[in-house]
Chain A
């Protein structure tokens, strides 16, 4: 595997379900990100982990819970989601926290909440 991988690629869940999205980066980076991409809206940064420490984002509902067990893996735990949470969830990684450091993206998980 190379780059940034995400599983599953597609997920359909009910509002009472609990599921997790997984992201793995094979680039040796030390920062990882979760983004939400909804139709007709700009990408929204949800969470940032730098050196495995989380940077809080207060605008994200608590029904989304990130976890970063090590610098290569990132999870997004989902519970009691709403239909408006249906979107493409993208994971990204970068080396260091500098503003010149580009982010490398995974292919995304297409989430549908029924």
Chain B
């Protein structure tokens, strides 16, 4: 069975400070892992994905995530938050395209 746990339901940072959104996964197989972002009244947009090619994955808008097998983690980071980063972020684990499991989401608030 596979699952994903987002450790924080809400993260608040100040503009210009680093962002850390935490995700732990559980999978019986070598997983594919994704981070999606959802802005209000919008669909989900892919930020980045891990496909076993490299453990440090760079995505759009300055985000990156590191796959750590020993810790079963795939945390999302960004060096400097921008106001436009305020949104809901979802960590996803996938074994097949029919079996993608979404985390409960982390709401990121960015204060001026």
Contact = CB atoms under 8 A, between A and B. Distances in A.
A4 interface: yes
Give the one of A43, A45, A94 with max B CB within 10 A.
A43
Interface stretch (A62-70, A77-85, A105-113): A105-113
B97 A98 contact: yes
Given A105-B43, A105-B44, A107-B43, A99 B94 contact: yes
Nearest to B31: A99
A90 B43 contact: yes
Contacts of B51: 100
Nearest to B100: A45
Contacts of B98: 45, 48, 50, 55, 97
A43 B95 CA distance: 16
Interface string A30-42: 0100000000111
Nearest to B45: A105
Contacts, number: 57
Contact of B102 (A43, A50, A55, A96): A43
Query: Chain A interface secondary structure, helix, strand, loop or mixed?
Result: loop
B41 A100 contact: no
A42 B43 contact: no
B103 to A, nearest CB: 6
Nearest to A43: B102
A16 interface: no
B97 to A, nearest CB: 5
Nearest to A57: B98
A103 interface: yes
A101 interface: yes
B104 interface: yes
Interface centre among A45, A99, A101 (most CB of B within 10 A): A99
Contacts of B46: 102-104
Interface of A: 4, 31, 40-43, 45, 48, 50, 55, 90, 92, 94, 96-108
Q: Lowest 4 A-B CB distances belong to which pairs?
A: A105-B43, A43-B102, A105-B44, A100-B51
